[in-house]
Amino acid sequence: MKKISSFGIIAFKESSQIKNVLLRIRNWSERNSVPVFFHPFVNNQIGPDARVSSSENEFLQNSDAIVSVGGDGTFLSVAHICRFTEKPIIGVNLGGLGFLTDISPDEIESTLDKIQSGQFSTISRMVLEAVLYRENEQLCKFHALNDVFINRINTPKLTSISVWYGNDFITDFYADGIIVATPNGSTAYSLSAGGPIVEPNVKAFLLTPICPHSLTERPIILPSDKNIRLVINEKNPDLLFSADGLESVRLQSGDQIVVSYGGARANLIQLTDVSYFELLRKKLSWGKGWKKI
């Protein structure tokens, strides 16, 4: 495992809590003589003597590992900024549930100590590749750590989306939209739409219709060795296609989206061998309502 000799620090929001964490990281850097580079976004919160990168490229080049300060949304944005280059990322949780950001602010100094001394492992998560075709030409390509989805924008009506798995036609889904998620994203939007929780090491797609018209149209788990193809059937669709809720494009009738797993990965830093089910029990409060007699 490559030694971590420098850290990149990034936060998108401004708050007293975030500023406190950034200042503590800066103080840790000075005490331990470990280079820390701050993303240009944090310039207003960190002070004049900190190493604030002049550009995003410089920030990525100088950082062996990235520390995300915020919630899961910040972590997803950081993964996109890293362009899924497998640069290891760890998150300080200042948000809500924190499935991706599991380090509390109180642990930041000890966390950096452990990573810098090599007391960590990395876990890989599959990344989706989604290509949008319009009139047989590629319009754009997105990547997603959690999910890609199609959802209505303003019009309160059902839409029709045809779905193929490889060469096999699945069905025409009549729903508000549809989600294609990774197992890592099974606890995000897909879960809210009624999808199953899937252990993150499984190489699979989760196909989850959003509020389907038919109650028999249920979420489907599919192996990731074939593509999923989505076709927009509506004549005047008022639909948005999005990757992790960060990159989006409006759709037109006849648009086709091909979702695949091309082998890209995101690496998450892990300090302890915490069971995924222990994480679920903690984050989702499983078993808390049961009182033994």
- Catalytic positions, written as ranges: 72
Q: Of the given ranges (1-5, 192-196, 255-259), which has the lowest mean pLDDT?
A: 1-5
Q: What is the helix, strand, coil percentage profile of the chain, to 5?
A: 25, 35, 40
Per-residue model confidence (pLDDT) at position 290? 65
Of the candidates 124, 127, 146, 67, the residue with the CA atom closest to the CA atom of residue 101:
67
- Whether the CB-CB separation of 186 and 206 falls below 8 Å is answered with yes
CB 257 within 8 A of CB 150: yes
Domains of the chain: 7-125+265-284 (3.40.50.10330), 128-260 (2.60.200.30)
Q: What is the pTM of this model?
A: 0.91
pLDDT band at 282 (very low <50, low <70, confident <90, very high): confident
pLDDT at 293: 53
Report how far residue 228's alpha carbon sits from residue 221's, in angstroms, rounded to the nearest whole number.
Answer: 12
- Pairwise CA distance, residues 194 & 203, whole Å: 20
CB atoms within 10 A of CB 248: 16
Tens of pLDDT, residues 103-118: 888 999 999 999 998 8
- Which of the two residues, 99 and 12, has the higher pLDDT score? 12
Q: What is the pLDDT of residue 242?
A: 97
269 membership: H or E segment, kind and range: strand 265-270
| Average pLDDT for the chain | 91
Amino acid at 102: D
6-42 tens-digit pLDDT: 999 999 988 999 999 999 999 999 999 999 999 998 8
How much of the chain exceeds pLDDT 90, in percent?
66
146-202: pLDDT as tens digits: 999 999 998 888 999 999 999 999 999 999 999 999 999 999 999 999 999 999 999
The rounded distance, in Å, linking the Cα atoms of 259 and 122 is 26
State the CB neighbour count (10 A cutoff) for residue 283. Answer: 14
**Tens digits of per-residue pLDDT, 209-237?**
999 998 889 999 999 999 999 999 988 88
